[in-house]
Amino acid sequence: MSLIEVKAVSKIYRVSDEVETVALDQVTFSVEKGEFLAIVGPSGSGKSTLMHILGALDVPTSGSYRLDDQEVGDLDEDTLAEIRNQKIGFVFQAYNLLPRTSALKNVMMPMIYGGIKVKEREKRAKQLLSQVGLADKLNHWPNMLSGGQQQRVAIARALAMTPAIILADEPTGNISGQQVTEIMDRLNQLNQAGHTLLIITHDQEVAGYAKRTLTLKDSRLVADNVNGRQR
Ligand SMILES: Nc1ncnc2c1ncn2[C@@H]1O[C@H](COP(=O)(O)OP(=O)(O)O)[C@@H](O)[C@H]1O
Ligand SMILES: [Mg+2]
């Protein structure tokens, strides 16, 4: 059994009675614990849709998605929310931090839902923020931080519940240069510590960190390469 098993997954968005968009078309792959994958492909090829399904934020229209041997499409909303909280850490391109809320409180947030006591929440959030080099920015609101710093807060928040899987949708989309290297080094360390990592990216440098690359095109999985070789 693999950690992630995606079989013939399709996602069709019904925009109106006449208009349907096939965002994913019969996608099949599996991911073992501890892998580091890049998901690449042109804009509109279905990358974010796939990420939402993998993250249990959405369910396939058809096909099967098994996470830890559980069929995600069969789970009720409460169980899905619990899986998102316990097993999955999300990092989004737009950071999705709460505005007018300190870095510390942003990182503590998932632990509230995770039922962690307040003292422990604060302790862990401080540790996580120091690990991403933000020990001196605990009380800063997002708008007082640079893009790279906000992204590091988002990474710290994604790690709050020590998730087995980290899903990042263009985590370097709004930053550049040295900041990209910092974010990628941090994500790489997390992978080496045992977290399974899936990163959507447009950036060749970023994709270069991953050992395996899935390529989507026109809603289909058209390549699955490990170290440059087709699997
Ligand atoms: N909520 C939605 N409703 C309708 N169509 C959508 C929705 N989300 C995505 N799509 C469509 O699905 C296709 C794939 O989108 P997306 O997964 O966002 O691609 P990517 O992340 O690769 O740019 C696109 O044609 C997009 O317009
Ligand atoms: Mg996208």
Backbone angles phi, psi at 216, to 5 degrees: -100, 140
Q: Which atom of ligand 1 is nearest to the CA of 45?
A: 22
Q: Is the pLDDT of residue 229 over 90?
A: no
Domain 4-96+163-226, second-level architecture: 3-Layer(aba) Sandwich (3.40)
Q: Where are the domains of the chain?
A: 4-96+163-226
Nearest CA to ligand 1 atom 7: 13
Of 197, 196, 142, 150, the C-alpha closest to 172 is 150
Q: Which atom of ligand 1 is nearest to the CA of 11?
A: 12
The whole model's pTM is what?
Answer: 0.93
- Close Cβ partners of 59 (under 8 Å, ≥ 6 residues apart): 53, 65, 72, 73
pLDDT per position as a tens digit, 122-151: 999 999 999 889 999 999 999 999 999 999
CA 160 vs CA 73, 128, 133, 163, 165: distances in Å: 25, 7, 16, 8, 12
Confidence at residue 94, expressed as pLDDT on a 0 to 100 scale: 83
Using most ligand atoms within 8 A of CB, pick from 14, 21, 27, 53 the residue to mutate for ligand 1: 21
